[in-house]
Amino acid sequence: MKGFDLIREQVKNKVRAVPGPESGDDGREHEPWGKNRIIATIASVLIVLLLVVSVILPDRDFSDRENRVLMKFPHFSMAAVRDGSFMSSFETYVTDQFPLRDAWISFRTAFRSTAGVYDSNGVFRGNDGYLFEDAFCPDEQTLNDRMYVINTFAANSGLPVYTLIAPNASDILTDRLPRYAPLRDQDEDFDLMYSMMGEGVTNVDVRPALRGADEMGTQVYYRTDHHWTTRGAGCAFAQFAESAGLNAAAFNRTYLPVTDSFSGTLSAKSGFDIKKDTIHVITDDSGVDYVVEYKDEQAAHKTACLYEDDKLDTGDKYAMFFGGNHSEVDIETTADSNRRILVIKDSYANSFVPFMIPYYSDIIMVDPRYFTGDIYSLIRDNGITEVLFLYNANTFFEDNFITGILNTAG
Amino acid sequence: MVFSSIFFIFIFLPVTLALYYLVPVKLRDVVLLLMSLVFYAWGEPVYVILMVLSIMFNYVMGLQIDLRQETGNADRARFFLIAAVAVDLGLLGIFKYYGFIVENLNHIPFINIPEHQLGLPIGISFYTFQTLSYIIDVYRKKIKAQRSILLLGVYITMFPQLIAGPIVQYGDIERQLYDRNISREHFAEGVRIFIKGLAKKVLLANEAGRVFDILSGGSTDELSVLSAWMIAVAFTFQIYFDFSGYSDMAIGLGKMLGFDFKINFDHPYMSTSATEFWRRWHISLGSWFRDYVYIPLGGSFCPPKRHIFNMMVVWMLTGLWHGASWNFVFWGLYYGILLTFEKYVLFKNPERHYPSVLLHVYAMLAAMIGWVFFSITDMSKAFRIIGIMFGGGAHPLTDNAGLYYLMSMSLLWAVMIIASTDTFSMLEKKLEERNTRPAVYVTAAFYSLLLLASLADLVNDTYNPFLYFRF
């Protein structure tokens, strides 16, 4: 028996001792493949297969999941080769157009989640399906300059000026943050900002209202998106109404769900896809009618609707509110009021402004990131009676355009 | 172009391998040279000219030195040697150290040299050292000059080791230039090693690097003791898996083309001393400095004073090689001092034995402290971080950031610790020795999973810089 083993061992060694590379296949039909051959075959087949698929599949223009335009085949020129931009574009092109790109990203997220990593691309996965992004750290000097401009604007215009800076979800839903999540304490930033606010500015602090509503079980932020929900905006509006002397309870509002499959920016950014969100729109019993006029240079048009429901078929479902951000949107209403408000804003206002309709005869929304006109003549020409700065804290701390439009003239 | 990119794996590599194996054998070297130049030009469309000129220059110099040696004209041989070394080092100096030298000279009163920021040609530190090893070895008659500029070009530009090593010495690869190990098994082994390196880089180094960037990015004012340690730990793993992963990929690619490069990393974090660490870390660089600087200076076969001087010179240069900045010089000298200390104090008496646990802890701490100096260019900040690690100043013991990255990545840290030891390679060896079908399949499945996970990561991030490009 022992001798037999020995012979077998020798035969085995002999077979192994002859690698028989290029001619290998003939004589080794009975020798099963080793790990190297199996691994190399799997890898080669995978690579060739994916390569063939990527050649066959047409290029995609846009990634819904990432909400961005994907790189197309780069334009070839000697100049682009010399400075290397052709090469880097080409690499991006290949990666962007990789077959099953979204599936790969999901696989990566799943893989990392299994390994216990709660964050991905700067987004943290909290409890109950909530995703959080970090708060932007304001530069004290820049913030001071911005507040100075707003204070001066308030003093010079002589109009009532309100500021409503919405906190991030991480500042409100603290009990749903992942354990030890190293997110910035935004309350400190709020304290700093409030300390810089001038006398002529009425500050609307919506944090207590949002916290209170959250404690009562109202969903004030989307799980998958960085915006507040329509109900969150409603809470903030109630707070604003109190400051601005509006009777929030004068009308009854109904929240109507328009989609329950909303997967927002945070989900797209991180790849975490745990729960979907529901988007609501509101109607009220005020009976006030309105005309919405979009004043973008390219796509100026009028409509009688606050919502663009074809956006619900895209990845950017939050854009259904006013169809996203525009340089200037003018809403004229039949409200029995002589108050006319200018809202200088970011996208947080898009779900907020519908609450204001029955209270103002004219609401003009201006997004400083796109607006190129003169804010002072706009105020004059439209007989504006009050101004609201409505921003999410992240945009407000980061965005320098506000200073720009307030400084254009004086 | 980096190996860990979708473009490399799905376009450049398949195209190169297909051409390499489809053209007649005679043309293989032409393909390899051309594709290596394309590889280099892809990232350095202008400096590729510099590299081609450098190859031509060193080709001529090698032949000249060889010729003079053969005719017994030692003076002329020496002249060409010095000329070649001066030009090669001069180019390295101009492109890598000019800004640094000028900046420091300008600190001297009445000196005001205009500063020019020259772009650093990728891999110049690596390919300069390869050409130097060639020129010097020809002079030493260890090797014959390469008469084919094609083969010399292949040696210097070969894309697997062109931009981040290993630093292959000409003598080690001369025979392979003529007689390569072209076989399916060899190729397949290369694929496996490449996947191993890719996974190290993408799945481990990048994760550790992310934590390092986040924690070390801010000021140290409110850094906790835990976070300071996490900075050191994260970089310790990042640099190891990044660089050894890159070397694995290079070795794997070499095998796919029929070449065998020597191993460059041998589980350095298992060392019991700083001396041993450097026998296991970036072995090709250590050998280069040993062969071309340390031994020519007299090595250790000289009086202690001279030996210590030699050590300091070698280690200062080793530090400087890693980057044109004082923290690298300091990091080099730090090792010079440690190694001297080990030779003349710690291990002076060979009879004296220390518990091996203690030695492991010592070697690991030495490496980690070294990496803090290496990774933080601002030296006073590096000192502050090390101070905080050892309880200096009134810093909190823990903070959220430190706890978060410790806890949420606990599984990954565990994998990194184990992967730094030889546990995985022993396990793989055991499975291989067993040579049963299940053992083979388990290994193959594991590597396939590594490949899939790495590819998913590469698809995910377009931003994927290689640490070692700076050098």
Provide mean pLDDT across the span B145-169: 91
Distances, alpha carbon B427 to alpha carbons A115, A239, B280, B281, B434, in Å: 21, 64, 20, 22, 11
Looking at mean pLDDT, say which of A68-82, A91-105, A111-125, A173-187 comes out highest. Answer: A173-187
pLDDT-wise least confident of A386-390, B33-37, B108-112, B308-312: B108-112
Percent pLDDT > 70 in chain B is 97
Residue from B9, B192, B219 whose CB has the most chain A CBs within 10 Å, to mutate: B192
pLDDT at A101: 82
The pLDDT assigned to A12 comes to: 47
Supply the range of the domain harboring residue B164: 6-179
Q: How confident is the model at residue A370 (pLDDT cuts 50, 70, 90)?
A: confident
A32–B contact, CB cutoff 8 A:
yes
Across A107-136, average pLDDT: 87
pLDDT given at position B284 = 94
* Residue B419 sits in the same domain as residue B466: yes
Lowest mean pLDDT among A267-276, A305-314, A342-351, B263-272: A267-276
Is residue B309, in this structure, part of any structural domain at all?
Answer: no
Model confidence at B62: pLDDT above 50: yes
Query: In this model, does residue B469 exceed pLDDT 90?
Result: no
User: Residue A12's closest chain B neighbor by CA?
Assistant: B435
Last residue of a domain, one of B179, B197, B228: B179
B331 located within any domain: no
In this prediction, residue B30 has a pLDDT band, given cuts at 50, 70 and 90, of: very high
Which residue from A32, A98, A182 is facing B400, i.e. has the nearest CB?
A182
Q: What is the pLDDT of residue A7?
A: 45
Catalytic residue among B282, B307, B322, B395: B322
pLDDT at B71: 87
Cβ–Cβ below 8 Å for B5 and A91: yes
> What pLDDT band is residue A1 in, cutting at 50, 70 and 90?
very low
Residue B262's pLDDT band, with cuts at 50, 70 and 90, is very high
Q: Cα(B44)–Cα(B159) distance, rounded to whole angstroms?
A: 13
Same domain (yes/no): B160, B218? no
pLDDT tens digits along B379-388: 999 999 999 9
Closest CA to A131 of A86, A82, A81, A168: A168
Tell me the per-residue pLDDT of B209-231, one tens digit each, with 9 for 90 and over. Answer: 999 999 998 888 889 999 999 99
Q: What is the pLDDT of residue B471?
A: 31
pLDDT confidence tier of residue A402, bands split at 50, 70 and 90: confident
Interface list for A 293-312 with B (CB within 8 A): none
| B72 pLDDT above the threshold of 70 | yes
The contacts found for A229-232 with CB under 8 angstroms, 24 or more apart, are A229/A277, A229/A279, A229/A280, A229/A351, A230/A255, A230/A279, A230/A280, A230/A281, A230/A282, A230/A351, A231/A255, A231/A280
The answer to whether the CB atoms of A108 and B459 lie below 8 A apart is yes
**pLDDT tens, position by position, B171-193:** 899 999 998 988 999 999 999 99
Domain termination residue (choose one: B179, B203, B219): B179
Interface residue A79 vs chain B (CB under 8 A): no
Same domain, B195 and B124: no
Residue A55, token pair as written in the block: 């050649």
Tell me the residues of chain B between 18 and 77 that have a Cβ less than 8 Å away from chain A: 42-46
Of the candidates B214, B410, B440, the beta carbon closest to that of A35 is on B440
Q: What are phi and psi of B353, to 5 degrees?
A: -115, 140
Residues of B in contact with A39 (CB under 8 A): 188, 191-192, 195, 443-444, 447-448
- pLDDT(B466) > 50: no
Please indicate if any CB of chain B lies within 8 Å of the CB of A81. Answer: yes
Render pLDDT for B421-456 as a digit per residue (tens, 0 to 9): 999 999 988 888 887 888 889 999 999 999 999 999
Q: What is the mean pLDDT of chain A?
A: 86
User: Are both B173 and B198 inside the same structural domain?
Assistant: no
Residues 6 or more apart in contact with residue A278 via CB below 8 angstroms: A257, A259, A260, A262
Domain ranges of chain A: 127-407
B267: left (phi over 0), alpha (psi -120 to 50) or beta: left
Number of domains in chain B: 2
pTM, 2 dp: 0.83
Average pLDDT, chain B: 90
Asked if B126 and B252 sit in the same domain, the reply is no
Range list of H helices, B322-422: 326-341, 356-375, 379-389, 400-408, 410-420
In this structure, the answer to whether residues B161 and B22 fall within a common structural domain is yes
Over residues B19-33, mean pLDDT: 94
Determine the residue among A180, A269, A272 to mutate to test chain B binding: the one whose Cβ has the most chain B Cβ atoms within 10 Å.
A180
* Inter-chain CB pairs, A–B, below 8 Å: 153
- One domain, residues B165 and B52: yes
Does the distance separating the beta carbons of B455 and A271 come in below 8 Å?
A: no
Active site residue B395: no
Which of B134, B159, B179 represents a domain boundary (last residue)?
Answer: B179
pLDDT of residue A280: 96
B129 part of a folded domain: yes
Say whether A363 sits in a helix, a strand or coil.
Answer: strand
pLDDT average, residue stretch B258-284: 94
Q: pLDDT by residue (tens digit) across A270-290? A: 778 889 999 999 999 999 999
**In the prediction, which pLDDT does A163 show?**
95
Q: Please report the pLDDT score of residue A65 as a whole number.
A: 66
Residues of A in Cβ contact (< 8 Å) with B444? 35, 38-39, 42
pLDDT of residue B461: 66
Say if A158 is an interface residue toward chain B (CB within 8 Å).
Answer: no
Write down the pLDDT at residue A103: 85
Nearest CA in chain A to B21: A22
What ipTM does this complex have? 0.84
- From chain B residues 165-224, the ones with a CB under 8 A of any chain A CB are 181-192, 195, 207, 214
Nearest CA in chain A to B436: A34
pLDDT of A172: 95
pLDDT of residue A385: 95
Residue-level pLDDT at B426: 92
The average pLDDT across B388-395 equals 88
What whole-number distance in Å separates Cα of residue A310 and Cα of residue A324? 12
Q: How far is the CA of B103 from the CAs of B111, B249, B324, B357, in angstroms? A: 10, 37, 11, 45
Q: What is the pLDDT of residue B452?
A: 95
- Strand A201-203 relative to strand A161-166, pairing: parallel
- Look at chain B and count its residues: 471
pLDDT at B128: 93
Q: How close is the nearest chain B Cα to the Cα of A119, in Å?
A: 9
In a mutational test of the A interface, the residue from B2, B3, B6 whose CB has the highest number of chain A CBs within 10 Å is B6
List, for residues B288-323, the tens digit of each pLDDT value: 999 999 988 888 888 888 999 999 999 999 999 998
* A32/B440 touch (CB, cutoff 8 Å), yes or no: yes
